[in-house]
Amino acid sequence: MSYAPDTLHRPAEWAAKGTCAQPPYVGSDLWYADEWQKDDRRTAISLCRTCPVLDACRTAAASEEAGKGKDSRHGIRAALTPGQRWSADQKARAKPKAKRGGRRLAPCGTRGAYDRHLRLGEPVDDACRLANNTDRQKRRVANTSSATASQNGQR
Ligand code: SF4
Ligand SMILES: [Zn+2]
């Protein structure tokens, strides 16, 4: 197969390996059967299910159609109807939103976690105590050297 002008959209490498790109299915209307052509749709879906590039096809469909409405999705892709792809997209979008609410807590063994333990009246574990001591020492060293610097007029 050759794609003449290099500026045209070029089908992804995997797409050529899809069942729908092989004879006798290449160019078939099975994948674009109307909703009432249930047998054809079922056939397309079952062909997709055994397609060697099903995963790549599903990922591509999800990213190409992300954010589109139900009516802007056409045909069976990756064994899914337009409606099924639309719901999957809705779910994928709802997830990150739920995550955004919760702030990530500093893990134990950091100053942040040590401060949080104190603030919440939680017992302080060894890792956090060590982190706090190390941090305090570092600050002491920093203070000492800046004091020395100012004594020497190096500020
Ligand atoms: S999964 Fe279905 S639509 Fe996707 S490439 Fe395979 S046969 Fe075609
Ligand atoms: Zn801790």
Give the span between the Cα atoms of 102 and 105, in whole angstroms: 9
Supply the DSSP string of 13-65, one letter for each residue: GGGGGSGGGSTTTTT-SGGG--TT-HHHHHHHHHHHHT-TTHHHHHHHHHHHH
Tell me how far CA of residue 106 lies from CA of 21, 26, 113, 130, in angstroms.
50, 54, 5, 15
Which residues form the pocket of ligand 1, taking CB atoms under 6 Å from any ligand atom?
A: 18-20, 31, 47-48, 51, 53-54, 57, 77-78
Least confident of 76-80, 97-101, 144-148: 97-101
How confident is the model at residue 6, as a pLDDT? 54
E strands, 93-145, are none
pTM of the model: 0.58
| Pocket mutation for ligand 1, best pick of 29, 57, 76 (most atoms within 8 Å of C-beta) | 57
Q: pLDDT tens-digit profile of 17-65? A: 999 999 999 999 999 999 899 999 999 999 999 999 999 999 999 999 9
The DSSP bridge partners found for residue 80 are: 77
